[in-house]
Chains A and B, each alone.
Chain A
Amino acid sequence: MFHPSAEMKELQRSKPVVQVELPDGSTSWLITRYDDVRQVLVDPRFSRAATVGRNVRRIGPASASGDSILSKDPPEHTRMRRLVAGAFTARRVEALRPRVTKLVDEFIDHMFTLPQPADLVENFSLPLPVQVICELLGVPAEDRHIFHEWSDGILGDESRDPQEIEEAFARLSGYFGRLIATKRAVPGDDLMTALIAARDAEDRLSEAELVGLCLTLLIAGHETTANQINMFLLVLHEYPEQLERLRANPEMIPQAVEELMRFAQLGTSGGGLPRITTEEVELGGVRIPEGAAVIPVLTVANRDPALTTDPDRVDVARPLTTHLAFGAGVHHCLGAQLARMELQEALRGLLGRMPRMELATPADELTFKNGMVVRSLRALPVRW
Chain B
Amino acid sequence: MATWRVAVSGECVASGSCLGIAPAWFARRADGQSYPTSVLIEENAAVLDAAACCPVEAIRLSDAETGEPVELA
A interface vs B, CB < 8 Å? Answer: 38, 41-42, 44, 74-75, 78, 81-82, 85-86, 88-91, 321-322, 326, 328-332, 334, 336-337
Residues on B with beta carbons closer than 8 Å to the beta carbon of A330 = 17, 20-21, 53
Residues of B contacting A331 with CB < 8 Å?
Answer: 20
Does B49 lie within 8 Å of A337, measured CB to CB?
Answer: no
Q: Is B42 engaged at the interface, CB distance under 8 Å to the other chain?
A: no
CB-CB < 8 A to B2: which residues of A? none
* Cα–Cα, bound, A82→B17 (Å): 12
- Other than the given A78-B53, A329-B19, A329-B20, 17 more pairs (CB < 8 A) read A41-B16, A41-B20, A42-B16, A74-B20, A75-B49, A78-B21, A81-B53, A85-B54, A90-B55, A90-B56, A91-B57, A322-B32, A328-B15, A330-B20, A330-B21, A331-B20, A332-B55
B31 interface hit (Cβ, 8 Å): yes
Given contacts A90-B11, A321-B32, A337-B55, A74 and B16 within 8 Å (CB-CB): no
Is A82's CB under 8 angstroms from B14's CB? no
Alpha-carbon separation in the docked complex, A331 to B72 (Å)? 20
Task: Determine the chain A residues whose CB is within 8 A of the CB of B32 once the complex forms.
Answer: 321-322
Using an 8 Å CB-CB cutoff, how does the interface string of B22-45 with A read, 1 for contact, 0 for none?
010000100110000000000000
A88, B57: Cα distance in complex, Å: 10
B7 touches A (CB below 8 Å): no
Q: Does B52 sit at the interface, judged by CB under 8 A?
A: yes
Judge whether A336 and B15 touch: CB under 8 Å.
yes
CA distance in complex: A326, B55 (Å): 12
Known: A74-B21, A322-B32, A330-B20. A89 touches B15 (CB 8 A): no
- Top 9 nearest A-B pairs by Cβ distance? A330-B20, A329-B20, A328-B16, A332-B15, A322-B32, A322-B14, A90-B56, A42-B16, A85-B53
Task: Please state if A321 and B31 are interface contacts (CB–CB under 8 Å).
Answer: yes
Interface of B is mostly: loop
A86 x B21 contact (CB < 8 A):
no
Partner of A321, one of B14, B21, B52: B14
Within the complex, the shortest CB–CB distance from B48 to chain A, in Å, comes to 9
Query: B53: which A residues are within 8 A, CB to CB?
Result: 78, 81-82, 85, 330
- The number of residues on chain B lying at the interface, defined by a beta carbon within 8 Å of a beta carbon of chain A, is 21
The main secondary structure of chain A at its interface with chain B is helix
A-side contacts of B31, CB under 8 Å: 321-322
Residues of A within 8 A of B16 (CB): 38, 41-42, 328-329, 332
Chain B residues positioned under 8 Å from A326 (CB to CB): 15
Contact B17 A86 (CB under 8 A): no
Residue numbers in A under 8 Å from B13 (CB-CB): 322, 336
Name the one of B14, B21, B56, B73 contacting A89, with C-beta atoms under 8 angstroms: B56
Give the distance to chain B from A253, nearest Cβ to Cβ, in Å: 17
Nearest chain-B residue to A334 (Cβ)?
Answer: B55
Complex-state Cα separation, A38 to B15, whole angstroms: 10
Chain A residue at smallest Cβ distance from B16 = A328
Which of B21, B32, B53, B56 has the largest number of chain A CB atoms within 10 A? Answer: B53
Question: Is there contact, CB below 8 Å, between A89 and B55?
Answer: yes
A75 vs B48: C-alpha distance when bound (angstroms): 12
For the complex, give the distance between the alpha carbons of A42 and B23 in Å.
Answer: 9
How far apart sit A336 and B17, CA to CA, in the bound complex (Å)? 12
Shortest distance between the CB of B51 and any CB in chain A (Å): 10
Q: Which of A75, A334, A337 contacts B56 (CB 8 A)?
A: A337
Cβ A329 vs Cβ B57 within 8 A:
no
Question: Are the CB atoms of A336 and B20 closer together than 8 Å?
Answer: no
